[in-house]
C-alpha cells in the first residue's frame, strides 16, 4: 500500500486510560490560577460520576433522563452542568 494511505482515513481507538488525568499530567502540568474563586490544584475524581455534555435546552431533558437511567443501571451517577 502507498505510504500516503495512512493520512487518507480516520483512525478510532478505545483506550483504557483516564483522559482527564492524562491531560492534567502531560499537556499542561499546572493550570492558571483563577482570581474570582479558588479551585484545588488536584480535584477529587469520582470514579462513578458520568458527565453528560449537551445544550441547556428543555428539548434535551428526555435525552438526559435516558442517559441518566442507563448510567444508573451500570452503577454510575450522571450529572450535567445545569443541575449543579
What is residue 25's predicted lDDT score, i.e. its pLDDT? Answer: 76
How many whole angstroms separate alpha carbon 31 and alpha carbon 50? 23
Residue range 16-72, pLDDT digits in tens: 888 777 777 777 656 566 666 666 666 677 889 988 888 888 888 999 999 999 999
Rounded to two decimals, what is the model's pTM? 0.48
Could you tell me if 43 and 72 are in contact, meaning their C-beta atoms sit under 8 angstroms apart? no
Name 80's Cβ contacts closer than 8 Å, sequence gap at least 6.
Answer: 51, 52, 53, 54, 64
What is residue 30's predicted lDDT score, i.e. its pLDDT? Answer: 62
What is residue 26's predicted lDDT score, i.e. its pLDDT? Answer: 75
What is residue 48's predicted lDDT score, i.e. its pLDDT? Answer: 92
Could you tell me if 80 and 52 are in contact, meaning their C-beta atoms sit under 8 angstroms apart? yes
Amino acid at each position: 500500500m502507498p505510504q500516503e494511505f495512512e493520512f487518507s482515513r480516520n483512525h478510532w481507538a478505545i483506550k483504557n486510560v483516564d483522559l482527564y488525568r492524562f491531560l492534567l499530567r502531560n499537556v499542561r502540568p499546572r493550570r492558571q490560577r483563577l482570581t474570582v474563586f479558588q479551585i484545588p490544584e488536584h480535584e477529587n475524581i469520582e470514579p462513578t460520576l458520568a458527565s453528560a455534555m449537551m445544550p441547556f435546552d428543555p428539548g434535551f431533558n428526555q435525552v438526559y433522563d435516558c442517559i441518566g437511567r442507563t448510567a444508573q443501571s451500570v452503577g454510575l451517577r450522571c450529572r450535567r452542568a445545569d443541575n449543579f
